[in-house]
Amino acid sequence: MTGPPPLPDSGPPEAWLPGHGPADPGPSGPGGPPPVTRALRLSPKVLLTDPIRMLPSLLLPLIGVLFLGGFSPGSFAWAALGVVGSVVYSAVRWATFTYQVVGDRLELTRALVSRSVRTVPLERIRGVDVSHPPLHRLLGIAVLRIDTGAGGDEKQEGELDGVTEAEAERLKAVLLWHARARLARRAGTAPAGAGSPDPTETGPGGAEAGGEALRGFPATGSEASSSLRHEVGETTPERIFLVVPRRWLAYGPLSGAYLLTPFALLAGAVGAAFQWGGELGVDRRVMWSAVEWLWGHRPLLIAAVVLLVLITPVIGVVMYAVFNWDFTLRARDGYLIAERGLLTRRSVSLERRRVRGFELVEGLVERRTGMARAWAIVTGLGDSQTRGQLLPVVPRAVALDVVGEGVGPITTALRAHPPAARRRRLFRAVFPWLVVAACALAAALAWSGPWWGSVAAALALALLGVPLGLDRYRSLGHAYDGSRLSVRSGSLRRSQAVVERRAVVGWTLSQTWFQRRAGLLTVVAGVGAGSGGYAALDVGEEEGVAFVSEVTPDWLAPFVVSD
């Protein structure tokens, strides 16, 4: 996939868009408001993709029409009419949807029944993602999604589904240029107003780019634009931090998400069969009879379960490849860019100045094999679990090196928590199951029934709680190296967050009744990014206060009483 074009030497980004000729002086001369681009439509190729995507929702109604009509010619005519109606609806949607950049905002207009205008201020844009689903890749179009940090879905934040690949990359460059340009304007280095020069060339895509391609970049430079380019970030050579080797596809089964995919698919298929079987003419009693028959043939059932277990790692590898094929993390022009995907190729851009740290996540199996995943901690990022991913399952040492180079390392080791924290971890892991065992024992002595089995199961889980509690204690830790702080906790899912000191906006020190008796407390660093707060669990009282004072000495001083 090719990256966005380089920044132009002069002129505001509005001059890069279609619909621009030479700048008109306007009411205030060359420094007047920027001209308005004409409204553009999506590529006509969406007339092929939209009806195909609507087929799953139309499938059951069409089958119902055919069954009710007894597969007569009339029923086929009604089904064909439904398909034609979906095509006409897609054509009307395409003809009534336009988008345009107007001054400092992007407008998405739809006038199907009533006119609605979705306005996205350019200065609110936090990122622009370009993805290529399989059918879109075949037709040479893409989906461009705009993230404003509002936390809504793609439809709420802004989506252009069906622009040509060339226009998607160029429009992405235009919108991201504004994110850097506003820094310069706030600093007072941007020109107060600049006319739009004559474009010197036309970009690829012809008249189809969603009907038209974006104009090429002017070649001439100016002193004002040079100052602006320096302020917003000079175009720098691309730097690739990591391209995940294909031999690492074998790490896919180590992630629980990929490992459990076959079971999730099987459960979904069974649920769909029972839910929609009646619509397809399959009696639910027939399905129950099939289940009873399979249960009666135990060897066949065992063979099916063994086969499912054997193919689970294979499916894990396949799913890892589908989502993370050729995963590439690179830096370019002030952005961290992650590209991934086999069937649907996706490119996600994260503004580096908004990245406040990273989070390293290790599942239980991943920890035993030395693997980890990484996410960025970013301010104003919607859908952070998807957009913020920096690395899939990779060796932990590689993950630390890559995020340390791309985001920033933590240069000191984690500090262990006091022995009282170990006792508390053991108590929380063992005591609940002992209570269950005691209740089951009382029930077994009072009534007849399978209570002794419950007693044995609860005691077994209590014994398993001992290594779990010890592991949870070993996972606890916190550190500060002068510029970044780090906290870690968890066992089945161990998470270590590394956050810049400047990202901390407050602290929360809390104690439960049990923590007060043990001399422990929980310290939560409030951060205007990521999940909003990262906790150091069960820290000693003195160590917790010292940790806060070390990171932000002046903040805690009014609350500390000296002897």
* Spans of all domains in the chain: 13-235, 246-324, 419-475, 476-563
pLDDT at site 230 = 36
pLDDT at 480: 96
Average pLDDT over residues 393-417: 94
- Is the pLDDT at 300 greater than 60? The verdict is yes
pLDDT reading at 58 higher than 80: no
Highest mean predicted confidence (pLDDT) among 43-52, 118-127, 288-297, 533-542: 533-542
Residue 424 has pLDDT above 80, yes or no: yes
445 phi and psi, to 5 degrees? -75, -25
The pLDDT of 377-401, averaged and rounded, is: 84
Alpha-carbon gap, residue 239 to 331, rounded angstroms: 5
Range with top average pLDDT, 345-349, 483-487, 557-561: 483-487
Q: How big is the chain by its Cα radius of gyration, in Å?
A: 29
Of the two residues 383 and 410, the one the predictor is more confident about is: 410
Looking at residue 447, what is its pLDDT? Answer: 84
Residue written as tokens 């040479």? 140
Higher local confidence (pLDDT), 194 or 418? 418
Residue 132 has pLDDT above 80, yes or no: yes
What tens digit of pLDDT does each residue of 491-501 get?
989 999 999 99
Instruction: Say which CATH architecture domain 476-563 belongs to.
Output: Roll (2.30)
Give the whole-angstrom CA distance, residue 140 versus residue 478: 49
Measured CA to CA, the distance from residue 390 to residue 405 in angstroms comes to 12
Tokens standing for residue 71: 């597969």
Where would I find the H helices in 447-506?
451-475
Condensed to tens digits (0 to 9), the pLDDT of residues 81-91 reads 888 888 888 89
CB count within 10 Å of CB 78 equals: 15
Q: How far is CA 421 from the centre of its chain?
A: 34
How distant is the alpha carbon of residue 220 from its chain centre?
39
pLDDT for res 418: 96
pLDDT for the residue numbered 442: 92
Rounded-to-integer distance, Cα 155 and Cα 138, Å: 24
C-alpha–C-alpha distance, residues 528 and 504, integer Å: 7
Residue carrying the six token digits 């830790």: 477
pLDDT for 62: 79
List pLDDT tens digits, range 317-344.
888 999 999 999 999 888 899 999 998 8
Question: Which of 517, 523, 524 minimizes the C-alpha distance to 544?
Answer: 523
In sequence order, which ranges of 327-418 are alpha helices (DSSP H)? Answer: 364-368, 384-387, 396-406
Q: Tell me: the pLDDT tens digits for 359-378?
A: 999 998 899 999 999 999 98
Note the Cα 244 to chain centre separation in Å. Answer: 18
pTM as predicted: 0.73
Task: Look at residue 124 and give its three-state secondary structure.
Answer: helix
DSSP annotation string for 508-551? EEE--HHHHHHTEEEEEEEESSTTSEEEEEEEEHHHHHHHHHHH
475 vs 454: CA distance, rounded Å? 31
What is the C-alpha separation between 420 and 514, in angstroms, rounded? Answer: 11
pLDDT value for 556: 79
Of 14, 201, 189, the closest CA to residue 104 belongs to 14
Average pLDDT over residues 176-198: 54
Higher pLDDT, 423 or 189: 423
Dihedral angle sign, alpha carbons of residues 344, 347, 350, 356: positive
Q: Which residues contact 420 (CB under 8 A, 6 or more apart)?
A: 518, 519, 520, 538, 540
Residue 99 and residue 106 in contact, taking contact as beta carbons nearer than 8 Å:
yes
The pLDDT value given to residue 427: 95
Strands 141-147 and 159-164: antiparallel
pLDDT digits (tens, 9 = 90+) for 135-153: 999 999 999 998 876 655 5
Number of H helices and number of E strands within the chain? 18, 19
List C-alpha distances in Å: 498 to 226, 352, 360, 417, 474. Answer: 36, 15, 8, 18, 18
* Maximal CA-CA distance, the chain: 94
Confidence (pLDDT) at 211: 37
Per-residue confidence band for 534, with pLDDT thresholds at 50, 70 and 90: very high
- Taking the C-alpha atoms of residue 375 and residue 392, their distance in angstroms, rounded to an integer, is 9
CB 106 within 8 A of CB 40: no
Identify whether the C-beta of residue 121 lies closer than 8 Å to the C-beta of residue 115: no
Q: Whole-angstrom Cα distance, residue 105 to residue 123?
A: 8
Instruction: Using the predicted structure, report yes or no on whether residue 503 has a pLDDT greater than 60.
Output: yes
Gap between the Cα atoms of 81 and 61, Å rounded: 12
5-57 pLDDT, tens digit per residue, is: 444 444 444 444 544 443 333 333 333 344 446 788 999 999 888 888 887 77
**Does 188 have pLDDT greater than 50?**
yes
Q: Average pLDDT over the chain, rounded to whole?
A: 79
pLDDT at 264: 74
- Residues 475-508: b if buried by 16+ CB within 10 A, e if exposed: bbbbbbeeebbbbbbbbeebbbbbbbbebbeebe
